[in-house]
């Protein structure tokens, strides 16, 4: 029987893969517990898509799946590639739920920036978040850890 896993944005567990070369480490006890239990699958879709660390800030153009950098470059291909590579790894690893970094153009769930680089938020999700959700993986934002833990305890942690 295959053990179920939890995908997590790599920057949330301290990997320095953020666009500016830093991390977004959460330092939450439940994340540490899952880490010690070996059920976490950390990955960074933007790095998997071929982008470097550091890299220019990027945003999804409102209402589309086009992604642009602050420098004007179109990085839609890299974001799409990273999202599908993330899904491939998730399926290979038996991932049933994901915990993703808020407001990222890849990982953000429900709220992201609008593509104008003016800190304007819109109701939408990042490219990888959408691809994971479309494949049936339950996605939780980093601010929904209690919900994520309840889901894991109810449905997630039994072997596949």
Residues in touch with ligand SF4 (CB under 6 A): 9-11, 17-18, 44-46, 101, 104, 106-107
Q: Write out the E strands in the chain.
A: 5-9, 40-43, 58-60, 67-69, 95-100, 111-113, 121-123, 138-141
Copy the structure tokens of residue 75: 């990085």
Q: How far is the CB of 36 from ligand SF4 (least distance, A)?
A: 21
DSSP summary character for residue 103: B
Please state, in angstroms and rounded to a whole number, the distance separating the CA atoms of residues 124 and 112.
Answer: 6
Q: How far is the CB of 4 from ligand SF4 (least distance, A)?
A: 21
Q: How far is the CB of 10 from ligand SF4 (least distance, A)?
A: 5
Q: Do residues 117 and 56 touch, judged by C-beta distance below 8 A?
A: no
Q: Write out the E strands in 54-94.
A: 58-60, 67-69
**C-beta of 46 vs 93, nearer to ligand SF4:** 46
**C-beta of 81 vs 101, nearer to ligand SF4:** 101
Q: How far is the CB of 23 from ligand SF4 (least distance, A)?
A: 8
Q: How far is the CB of 70 from ligand SF4 (least distance, A)?
A: 15
Please state, in angstroms and rounded to a whole number, the distance separating the CA atoms of residues 41 and 17.
Answer: 15
Closest CA to 128 of 148, 104, 111, 95: 104
């Amino acid at each position: 029987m295959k053990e179920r896993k939890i995908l997590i944005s790599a920057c949330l567990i301290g990997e320095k893969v953020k666009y500016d070369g830093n991390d977004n480490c959460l330092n939450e006890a439940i994340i540490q517990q899952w880490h010690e239990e070996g059920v976490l699958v950390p990955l960074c879709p933007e790095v998997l898509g071929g982008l470097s660390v550091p890299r220019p800030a990027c945003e999804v153009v409102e209402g589309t799946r086009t992604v642009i950098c602050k420098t004007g470059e179109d990085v839609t291909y890299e974001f799409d590639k990273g999202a599908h590579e993330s899904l491939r790894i998730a399926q290979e690893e038996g991932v049933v739920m994901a915990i993703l970094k808020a407001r990222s153009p890849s990982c953000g769930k429900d709220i992201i920036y609008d593509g104008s680089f003016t800190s304007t938020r819109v109701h939408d999700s990042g490219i990888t978040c959408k691809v994971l959700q479309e494949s049936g993986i339950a996605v939780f934002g980093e601010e929904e850890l209690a919900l994520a833990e309840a889901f894991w305890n109810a449905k997630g942690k039994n072997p596949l």
